Structure 1
């Protein structure tokens, strides 16, 4: 079958390598023909390319997949799906983003109407599934996947004070919190080092984190900003640390956290949105309240000092993400597209 994937394919222009990009590769490996859109970073041009691809290629694909986010991106998805209906093409909607439930609460009729129009609705986590069930009676969980073999596992039995942070520099991921954590730890761990990497989203978050690090002169040499990391280099980057900090104020099922778990890093994360659906406190991660640098630094101290804790978190994390391997997840996607294509499913009305 030929599948049209509508999402943000921005890694070639310096953006984040999204889940849809990896899905395109896996579908092609499985023998599908895949058409992708869009690679444009300009917002209006991206929308035009998405709608244009739906209509221009309508004789080439049997089924489409559309990523659904909150905010302006939701209204773009509405336009794309309207065009798909005019072209009489079935489509799958995949829910994304920790803010989507709040958006749905604000626009309940529009959200219900759009979800009801899809052949199948999927979500990458039980968090989004549960929060969005009031707007759609049937949501299939398809987790964010990774190729587990690319992520060498190293059990952190005796972790060193080497920390990594890997997200986009944006206010919702609160990179400044990581700097605050290091400020509290450095006096007791003079060899401590934090590596921060990710694309700059342009909202000033990167500059604020750099400025905060510079204001604390004793942090010189303890924090390094690496810029955006190529997807292929992520496993190697993660192996430079023993503790992974996830400082998000809102989140769903972040791939970067799954990747850190696959490598065996000890995860310390904020306890927001979908994260407690992914992480089990004290078993495969330590969870703290958002914005609490004191609690997060205390959690890191525990990992570095408490006998047996780091090894337990490391091994359990790797064991959990084995279910996220593409060999486990891809068959589900193929079944979903086949069902949508032949009309066995009826989205939220099923």
Structure 2
């Protein structure tokens, strides 16, 4: 039996840590859910993957139980000869504390592991100092078989903090599948869409300020979708007279996200900190005009004025100007959206992403 040209006689057994599982709302869970979906679709015989929860969706106090459970499953898989590589998704703070334990246990069992960095605020979390914690994080990265990062800025950051990992860093940007719903836009009004956690880090207060500046301009409406400070943001938008222009549906599932993207014309994400946001890639996949900030690895996929607009974080006048230009100019929206979609098809599609990850698993197992 063959799959992708590789014999299925002896599949590579991979364990993947995910925070909350397929119903998780975070970017890591969504990316890993997409990866699982693609691997299931391909029905690969050369790779046997199990996605195991390492944090859980409940109170953080219970996360230790999931770490213990993950390690016990890893031990059982090792004893059964079904643990060749462990793929550890990692973010900052609690995620890193848990992954320090998992990585240490993985080394104890003699299993190669991969660190896949997703945290948007890892620069703030991992201090450039000689503290015990910084030393343990450095050792964890340097002892990994591979370190996967989402863009050039994160490659440089890890190489600076953990020089011993430099030769094993791989840049693999996030990816999404091609939308199944046709993009139709909003028709008579221009639909501005925000997808993400509603709060200060994502720049929602500044977005509301920019939309307030556009209040007297006709022909647009906005949706701010996501969990977080929803009620406070909704109350503020109502107080500013935007109650009939901005919808706050709260957290929405994959089907609703697909429908919102299909009806949108502009995807906006004015964040102060990101790694490589999935919502921007989803907007690019659908051919939306994107307005974002040059944080994290966003500049790797958005070129200002070519595949979207980049505005400085917190700069309300610049954000207002970019949104108004797109609202007023359908041809500009179409040009930027088409260019963004071309980048997605070339670099950010799900199938090549899955193939790259599989090749990293194989290389890590050989090492």
TM-score scaled by length of structure 2: 0.84
Written as runs of structure 1 = structure 2, the 5 A alignment for 1:290-301 is: 290-301=313-324
Written as runs of structure 1 = structure 2, the 5 A alignment for 1:19-30 is: 19-28=31-40, 29-30=43-44
Q: Which runs of 5+ in 2 are unaligned?
A: 1-11, 78-82
Higher mean C-alpha displacement, 136-145 vs 12-21:
12-21
Distance, in Å, in 2 between the alignment partners of 1:115 and 1:13 is 25
* 1:44 paired residue number: 61
Q: Is the 8 A contact 1:159 1:303 kept in 2?
A: no
RMSD of the alignment, in Å? 2.3
Written as runs of structure 1 = structure 2, the 5 A alignment for 1:187-336 is: 187-189=216-218, 191-200=219-228, 205-216=229-240, 218-306=241-329, 308-322=331-345, 323-336=347-360
Distance, in Å, in 2 between the alignment partners of 1:96 and 1:159 is 38
SS in 1 for 2:192: strand
* 1:347 paired residue number: none
Displacement, 1:77? 1.0
Q: Is the 8 A contact 2:16 2:49 kept in 1?
A: no
* 2:137 paired residue number: 111
TM-score scaled by length of structure 1: 0.88
Could you report, residue by residue, the CA deviation over 1:163-194 in whole angstroms, capped at 9, with x for unpaired residues? Answer: 111001233112222211211112022x4211
Displacement, 1:266? 0.8
Displacement, 1:154? 5.8
Q: Is the 8 A contact 1:8 1:18 kept in 2?
A: no
Q: Is the 8 A contact 2:90 2:118 kept in 1?
A: yes
Displacement, 1:26? 3.0
What count of residue pairs does the alignment treat as equivalent? 336
Q: Which runs of 5+ in 1 are unaligned?
A: 344-350
Could you report, residue by residue, the CA deviation over 1:234-267 in whole angstroms, capped at 9, with x for unpaired residues? Answer: 2221122211110211012101100011111111
Match of 2:114 among 85, 92, 95: 92
Higher mean C-alpha displacement, 11-20 vs 141-150:
11-20
Extract structure 1 runs of 4+ deviating beyond 6 A.
none
Q: Is the 8 A contact 1:155 1:311 kept in 2?
A: no
* 1:146 paired residue number: 176
Written as runs of structure 1 = structure 2, the 5 A alignment for 1:4-83 is: 4-10=15-21, 12=23, 17-28=29-40, 29-31=43-45, 32-38=48-54, 39-60=56-77, 61-83=83-105
Kindly indicate whether structure 1 or structure 2 has the higher relative contact order, using CA contacts under 8 Å at least 6 residues apart.
1
SS in 2 for 1:171: coil
Higher mean C-alpha displacement, 110-119 vs 311-320:
110-119
Does the C-alpha gap of structure 1 residues 14 and 298 become closer, same or farther in structure 2, counting only changes over 3 Å?
Answer: closer
Distance, in Å, in 1 between the alignment partners of 2:183 and 2:265 is 11
Match of 2:209 among 175, 180, 186: 180
Q: Is the 8 A contact 1:98 1:274 kept in 2?
A: no
Q: Is the 8 A contact 1:164 1:238 kept in 2?
A: yes
